[in-house]
Structure 1
Amino acid sequence: MFAITACPMARAAPLSPTVQAVVTTAEKAFGAGQYDRASELFEQAYKAAATETTLLYNAARAAQMAKQWDRSEALYVQYQALPNRDPKYVDKATQYLPDVRAARQAQRVDEAKAKAKDGDQYQKEKRYREASAAYRDAWRLIPEQLEYLFRAGAAAALGCDEAVARQYLTDYLQKAATDAPDRIEAQARLDGIAKTCKDGHPISQSEVVVRKVDETVVRRTGDTASDGTGSIGLWVAVGGGVAALAGGVIYGIGAANRADFEASTKKDANGLIGNGWTVETAKARATEIGNQQTLGAVVAGVGVAAGVAGGVLWWLGKGDSKVAVAPTPAGAVLAWRF
């Protein structure tokens, strides 16, 4: 990228002993490959002897050799702006600056990729807030790489860091092109964060649409739609038990009445019904007893069904709500906790 050359040592005038000692130390450091130290010493000497502008160039060149790209660029630019600069070294600074800037950009790209790789790993481990911070750092290194900004917002949304997610996703949508591939997902995550997070924590629930519903009124498990499920179920179970008992009693009475009726309506040897029964009254009584037994069976059956349903509701309602059924303008929604 650039040729390694020794630092220029030409001077306009003799240096003071103190400054000369610093310069000598800087030259030795440069010769030993200690470029970062050499750069600092050359800059220190320049500040003490500002007329010796070549010292500032030396500081810039040593910083370049040390791969301190930001520092090197700043010192080269500073040198180019000096009124008493040496044209020869201005040309050299102009020659080196594109290399410095390209190297700095390449370094930032590598650092950003490393940060993004960290973010990917954090996300696999479901450490979403750390992932978001890593993607954010990657984007700050390469601001034009808006994908990192989107990923920072998306990870924050997964981690229910709502304020950060909204900030990054909104910023992404403002900066990204209208045909950017992540725009649709960014908008969806921005719109959906309120539905998936509450008080900084994810809502661990699943929604199942029973019929077509208006999702804006869907209640999730744990909301008021499921409050009281256990107590309601208990009362339904008790009521069902009472109904089953009553139905059994009614059916039992009907069975006893039928036994008495059949005993009292036995035909004699001549085929006649005794005990004052006529054919019409016997038929009417038989129908009455049949209806009584049917009623008892129906009441008992309904009671058993209600008891079972109530028992299920009571069980589901124990502790945290597991099931919720909520009406909507277009139908109903069933939600359960898993």
Structure 2
Amino acid sequence: MIPDRLPQLDSIAAERAVRRLDRLTKPPGSLGRLERLAVELAAIQGESLPQVAPPAMLVFAADHGVAAERVSAFPQEVTAQMVANFTAGGAAINVFARQHAAHLEVIDVGVATPMPDDVARHPRLVNEKVRLGTANMLESDAMTRDEALQAMAAGARAAKRAAAAGCRCLIIGEMGIANTTASSALLAVLTGGPVAGLVGNGTGLDASGVAHKRSVIERALGARRPDRNDPLGTLAAVGGLEIAAMAGAFLGGAEQRLPLLVDGFIATVAALVARRLCPGLREYLIFGHRSQEPGHELALKALDARPLLDFGLRLGEGTGAALAFPLLDSACRLLSEMATFDDAGIGAGS
């Protein structure tokens, strides 16, 4: 299920995009990073005139056993309540999905609270439940390696459904109470960074709550002792089902040559896990925004990433990536719609 290699970037398509950019009615390079983004998209898709519309927004939902340790400002039941909100169209990601005419799926890979019948049957919700949330990482591994692989496979299937529906870009988000705890634990192992510098207030913890959360993570890592050189084992020991599914969606999307627009802290940690499993993934990742979560800076550094936006966001759901999507669309439109000097009858040297 984990690919040995991914399709290589298309250097010929990238070179054609560069040549066209240099013929457009502007000084060469004058649109800066937008031009580099256009070339990057061309290389990913293998098309000199790439397109990212329509995008797919995939929101993976699951619960975390470590929520029993009161590491979140909200109870575990909120995960299911937010899934209901996603299906009703009332969440922030729904607003942005409508704005961008996006294909939106909500994929339940491990929500513990039973869904009402109308939610469970909603066409926007895909049931890929692996188990009823992870185990409490203080007491045992969060899941088995096989369960982590099952969740990754669910993510890959979602990416392939999006490609089959004609989507040209993936925005991958999440919902899961206590998932910043799991993400911080994963990041601490994979980077060797100190837990103290990674843990933020998540959904709104006060200073004592943050200190407690840090203590829970440190104790869990001491009990589980995951091996940083075994990313799948680390994911199983202290990760989350939705994090595993996001990692699978990143890999599945790359196999389809789809640009992968990465959201905030949790999505970036999922991307880091996926990249450790398949190093070629990095070339497909475009980072939407810089989260307020303190661990996000280290996660970005580990991926040598420079986000497009810095709006002080920390919601999740894929919202920061959705806000960055118009920049990708603008880069594509620049290539395909702007006149060249020849088209406009303008002397390039004038």
Please identify which structure carries the higher helix content: 1
Q: TM-score, normalised by structure 1?
A: 0.21
Q: TM-score, normalised by structure 2?
A: 0.21
Greater radius of gyration (CA): 1
Please identify which structure carries the higher strand content: 2
With a CA cutoff of 8 Å and minimum separation of 6, indicate the structure with the bigger relative contact order.
2
